[in-house]
A and B are shown apart, each in its own frame.
Chain A
Amino acid sequence: MLQIENLSGGYGDKKIVDRISFGVEKGRMLGILGPNGSGKSTLMKLISGVLEPTSGVVRVEGRPLGDFPAKELARKMAVLPQLHAHAFSHTVRETVSLGRYPHQSGWFSSWSAEDEAAVQEAMKLMDISQYESTLLEEMSGGEQQRVFVAQALAQNAAVLLLDEPTNHLDINHQKELLDTIKKQAIEKELTVVSIFHDINLASMYCDELLLMDAGRVVRKGEPHEVVRAHDVESVYQTRVSNHPHPELPKPQITLLPGVRRKTAGQQVKAEDFLVTPEFVAYQSQLPLKTVSSAVVNAGSGWFRNFLNRRVDASYNIDNSFEEMVEYIEGSGLKATDTVAMMTAVRTEHAIVREYAGDFGSIVVAVTAGVGNGVDVSQAVAREQRVGTINTWIMVNGMLSDEAFIQAMITATEAKTKALQHEEVIDPLTGTIATGTSTDSCLVAATQQGEALPYAGPITEVGKLIGTGVFECTVEAIQLYREAKKA
């Protein structure tokens, strides 16, 4: 639909865009990324024909741009510019109606039903119908932006060029606007080329991306080929990290700020754990990066407070989350800064122990009860009951994503070995249990000190986790059994 071949150009003698080539197929959305001054807007002006290229050609439906008379081009290609101030007042309707200019001809051309329908639809799509007779200058920057998008949509062109369409918009309107444009691209086979400042938005909405630097294309392709930490870092001269989008198969990036967080020489120590008949708790000065299967704030995140609370065996687990949040807030902590689990085991029997290695140390805390041991290899229908083996591993070190997962695996293997050692039996199957029905595990790290890329069983930290979890779990089971006997 749109072909850019070897396009160069700029202002005066200054070449800003240097031999750029790419194509966009009908109904596709292409995002142009690049730092300030990389030539994005100049490229846009060359494509829209406002600037004459010094070499190269832009083709729309195979025809060179220069072959189109101004009006015919405007029927093929609509452009959304960056917002400007205006000296005169216009109503929203007047502004959007101008989008129909290329469809009118003759001395007395009248407003046709088609013109009216296109204007009404564009205003509806941008959700500005209710402002029809409002003056533009009385609207916020975001609303004005939507008016100009509506103007471009009213042109009913097959190609839409956008220069930072989400400027001035809040996140809801950014989403709404791009959803609308994406929908138009899919339903009406609109071809969209858009400049983006926000790499994540571009990755989410575009089929293809173009990363520019100093007037040249650095990378081109699907988002997963372009939004890569390495390239983004070198082009934007900043530190970023990749992570997946939670819902879409599109890569995202996160900025890594130049300001490092405080390194207050924080260490997790066993003696700082608070062990009472009501709960096991640890409060950290600085947030710890945590991965867990807790009740409150499971998954990954950064938290300061860690709580393993004892509940009665008859605790109603149906709305355990709300109840736990209330409990946390009631004890003066912020639920958003707290990872909380629950257990029916006596928490005063928790085993908390510190293990030191070359890199630093880890603290393991376990509460165990084996009343409902389960052999996971035997699939038998079971009732769900309150969890009984809760394992915490706090690492004084910097764990990679892999290390977090390996630490989990290592801890689980050690726990299973402990159950085998203690000959815990699954009462339903009569075989050795591998765990209980609702065990929880938590791995937290200070993310300071030595970098620990791996935490498998042959690494230093893996060994500590293995022995630590095994020893603590064995001891906790023994304490539990003694308490049962007594």
Chain B
Amino acid sequence: MNKPALAYLVSLILLGGAVVLGVTVGTVPISPAIIWNPSLDEAAANILWNIRMPRVVLAGLVGAALAIAGAAFQGLLKNPLADPYTLGVSSGAAVGAVMTLFFGISIPFLGLFTLPVISMIGALITMLTVMGFARLVDRSMKMETVILTGIIFSSFLGSIMSLMIALTGEELRQIIGWLLGSVSMRGWPYVQMVLPFVLIGSFVLWLYRRELNAMLFGEERAQHLGVDVKRSKMAILIGGSVLTGSAVAVSGTIGFVGLVVPHMTRLVWGSDHRHVLPLSFINGAALLIVCDLVARTIISPTELPIGVITAFIGAPVFAFIFFRQRRGGL
């Protein structure tokens, strides 16, 4: 069996295991057999299909979206520390989402999709601004410059959100919990809300997998190799923003998934984007399902925000990558 095939097999097995664990473990343990045979225990099947399954699927979609967006951003910026969270893109999306709720914005024809669409626009604007500012500071767009710019923007956007929340009084206080990232109590409508965007965004990025490979060697080199750099860049930015925006719209800002998953994927299976992108998608889903499982069981019956768990894993990985990049020569 060749290496990519093995990689997909292992990743899919992990994802399958995560899903089974996600739907069966909890305050009410449920036997996996219920998945195939609901008639064994109607009440358990009800919990599984109406409460746990949407939550697991949503966690999977959010994880997949953030991970594949992170992988694409890293390739585009040639920056292993880039991810929607560290670039401030998640904050931009969150501001979009909070604004939608705060002003009660509703765009005709979009209906349910108003929230994710405005989040996406917030994400895209933030991404373009961060990149523009970083380029203004340092033409070579060094790793640290880009991340620092991301921090500046997410702090600023965070303060805007805090202001809006303070102004609304009690009704939006729940947003604070949501801001730290959570996929609880969402149900199937939220799955319907993000699914099309996650699929479209991921497909767009996957179309640009070869361009991403070329752009890892620099934009100039990519142009020499025949890549239409401007178009590819724009497509990847839009794809990444769609994914980030839709993920944030349903789950708030969950950090570091887009950093940890592509990094681990590259470490184990190499840095060819033709495989890094789909593998990040699968593994991102699996990771977030497991993180969500831990978040809701570790100090049961209290639930931790999922962002706490991802940051707990993600920050040390961030530190490790930073250390290796700076001390490891190249």
Q: Which residues of B contact A79 (CB under 8 A)?
A: 224
A50 at the binding interface (Cβ < 8 Å): yes
Cβ-defined contact, B270 with A94, below 8 A: yes
Q: Tell me how many residues of A have a C-beta within 8 Å of chain B.
A: 32
- Which candidate, A85-93, A187-195, A342-350, A474-482, is the interface stretch facing chain B? A85-93
For B330, give its contact among A75, A94, A101, A137 (CB under 8 Å): A137
Cβ-defined contact, B226 with A86, below 8 A: no
Q: Cα distance A102–B211 when bound, in Å?
A: 10
A48 at the binding interface (Cβ < 8 Å): yes
A70 at the binding interface (Cβ < 8 Å): yes
- Chain A residue nearest to B267 in the complex (CB): A89
Q: Which residues of A contact B169 (CB under 8 A)?
A: none
Please report which residues of chain B, range 215-251, place their CB below 8 angstroms from some CB of chain A when the two chains form the complex. Answer: 216-218, 220-221, 223-229
Cβ-defined contact, A70 with B78, below 8 A: no
For B80, give its contact among A69, A74, A87 (CB under 8 Å): A87
Cβ-defined contact, A85 with B330, below 8 A: yes
Cβ-defined contact, A101 with B225, below 8 A: yes
For A71, give its contact among B79, B207, B220, B226 (CB under 8 Å): B226
Answer whether A98 and B325 are a contact pair too, CB < 8 Å, given A74-B224, A78-B224, A81-B224.
no
Q: Which residues of A contact B221 (CB under 8 A)?
A: 81, 84
Cβ-defined contact, B210 with A104, below 8 A: yes
- Chain B residue nearest to A95 in the complex (CB): B217
Answer whether A87 and B270 are a contact pair too, CB < 8 Å, given A48-B224, A70-B228, A74-B224.
no
Q: Tell me the smallest distance from the CB of B29 to a CB of chain A, in Å.
A: 43
A73 at the binding interface (Cβ < 8 Å): yes
For A87, give its contact among B214, B227, B325 (CB under 8 Å): B325
Which size class do B's interface residues fall under?
20 to 34
B143 at the binding interface (Cβ < 8 Å): yes
- Chain B residue nearest to A68 in the complex (CB): B226
Cβ-defined contact, A50 with B224, below 8 A: yes
A66 at the binding interface (Cβ < 8 Å): no
Q: Tell me the smallest distance from the CB of B42 to a CB of chain A, in Å.
A: 45
Q: Which residues of A contact B74 (CB under 8 A)?
A: 88
Answer whether A90 and B214 are a contact pair too, CB < 8 Å, given A85-B330, A137-B329.
no
Please report which residues of chain A, range 405-435, place their CB below 8 angstroms from some CB of chain B when the two chains form the complex. Answer: none
Cβ-defined contact, B220 with A81, below 8 A: yes
Q: Which residues of A contact B79 (CB under 8 A)?
A: 87
Q: Which residues of B contact A78 (CB under 8 A)?
A: 224
Q: Which residues of B contact A71 (CB under 8 A)?
A: 226, 228
B272 at the binding interface (Cβ < 8 Å): yes
Q: Tell me the smallest distance from the CB of A263 to a CB of chain B, in Å.
A: 48
B266 at the binding interface (Cβ < 8 Å): yes
Q: Which residues of A contact B223 (CB under 8 A)?
A: 48-50, 70
Cβ-defined contact, A88 with B329, below 8 A: no
Q: Which residues of B contact A81 (CB under 8 A)?
A: 218, 220-221, 224
B271 at the binding interface (Cβ < 8 Å): yes
A396 at the binding interface (Cβ < 8 Å): no
Q: Which residues of B contact A104 (CB under 8 A)?
A: 210
Cβ-defined contact, B224 with A89, below 8 A: no
- Chain B residue nearest to A88 in the complex (CB): B271
Q: Tell me the smallest distance from the CB of B302 to a CB of chain A, in Å.
A: 40
Q: Which residues of A contact B272 (CB under 8 A)?
A: 90, 94
Q: Tell me the smallest distance from the CB of A72 to a CB of chain B, in Å.
A: 8
* A-B residue pairs in contact (CB < 8 Å), sample of 18: A49-B223, A70-B226, A70-B227, A70-B228, A72-B226, A73-B226, A81-B224, A86-B330, A87-B80, A87-B143, A89-B270, A90-B272, A91-B270, A94-B270, A94-B272, A98-B217, A102-B225, A104-B210
Told that A74-B225, A89-B266, A137-B329 touch, could you supply 16 new A-B pairs with CB distance under 8 A?
A48-B223, A50-B223, A69-B228, A70-B223, A70-B228, A78-B224, A81-B220, A86-B330, A87-B325, A88-B216, A90-B272, A94-B270, A98-B213, A98-B214, A101-B225, A102-B226
